[in-house]
Amino acid sequence: MAQKIFSKKVSAPRMLLLLMVALGLMLTDRYTTWLEPARAWVEGAAHSPSWAGDLLGGAADWGRTRLATPGELAQQNQQLRTENLVLKGQLQQLAELAAENAQLRGLLNAAPRTKLRLLMAELIGVSPDPMRHEIRIDRGSRDAVFVGQPVIDAWGLVGQVVKIREDSAEVLLISDERHALPVAVLGTEVRAIAEGTGDYRRLRLRHVQPTLDVTMNDLLVTSGLGGRFPPGYAVGRVTGIAHQRGQAFMEVSVEPAARLDRSRHLLLVFAEPAAEARTADGAARPLPAEPE
């Protein structure tokens, strides 16, 4: 049978000695720093169970991370693959937006140095008939689009408006066999007529005499004759010259400057209307409204 604690009697002198030792320790701790090392050791020993608990918790977390089951690993891999695919899709969208912004910046630089107003338009349809090079744009009569209006892209002349609806318009491309326009050789001002061939990548010059100064890689621009197309827009570059003996004219092939089969964003060209006219004394007065 276990003995009871403090079952033995303590003598009076021993009790007095213990009280004196306790009192001495209290006074020493109160008025000196001799017992601080011992106090720090006791406090460290008291915190050691908490430190050990933290250590065991960290070991358990490491075990859950490193010793995951194959099912958990497969689930994590699937989630990572999904996130990777989403990020790649977003990256593709960002690349498309960057390319679109570059094209739009090119459009703004495509205008000649004349007083013209440009209106952005977007391709919304293509003619299903391969013999008709026509496209549909998202601008119409509510945007003041008119028949015969020039249409360009970032690289050159695309065509002209031939039919209008309220919210859309049909554009005849310069590559259509029914289309022709006056052009000039940049630098020499030699004039000719460029007509479509039914091929997006080829135009031809009509009735070019062998004596005319037309050479390979000459750049053709709109001449401004006829008043339909403003002068200075790129039409194409000469890529081939053929002259058969006995023929009165040369066969000149031209590659269009515009990306007729690829451009999505286009520009409608407006002649800038004068907002006001000036009287003889210099005072400004409104112009009369133009008849519709």
How far apart CA 147 and CA 29 sit, in angstroms, is 105
SS3 state at 118:
strand
**Cα dihedral sign, 174-177-179-184:** positive
137's CB contacts (< 8 A; 6+ apart) are 121, 122, 123, 124, 151, 168, 169, 171, 266, 268
The parts of the chain modelled with pLDDT lower than 70 are: 1-10, 29-30, 33-35, 38-69, 82, 85-100, 102-103, 105, 108-114, 272-292
Q: Which residues share a beta bridge with 251? A: 242
Give the residue carrying structure tokens 């309220």: 166
How far apart CA 35 and CA 28 sit, in angstroms, is 8
- Report the domain count for the chain: 1
**Residue 289 forms part of a structural domain:** no
pTM: 0.60
Q: Which domain holds residue 141?
A: 116-271
17's CB contacts (< 8 A; 6+ apart) are none
**CA separation, residue 164 to residues 130, 145, 156, 175, 258 (Å):** 21, 7, 22, 20, 22
How far apart CA 269 and CA 119 sit, in angstroms, is 7
**Residue 147 forms part of a structural domain:** yes
- pLDDT value of position 48: 55
**Residue 84 forms part of a structural domain:** no
pLDDT tens digit sequence for 177-212: 999 999 999 888 899 999 999 999 999 998 898 888
**Residue 137 forms part of a structural domain:** yes
**Residue 47 forms part of a structural domain:** no
**Residue 106 forms part of a structural domain:** no
**In degrees, to the nearest 5, what angle opens at C-alpha 26 toward C-alphas 23 and 27?**
90
- pLDDT value of position 283: 39
Output the domain CATH number for residue 267: 2.40.10.340
Contact 160, 135 (CB under 8 A): no
**Residue 19 forms part of a structural domain:** no
Q: Hey, what amino acid is at 156?
A: G
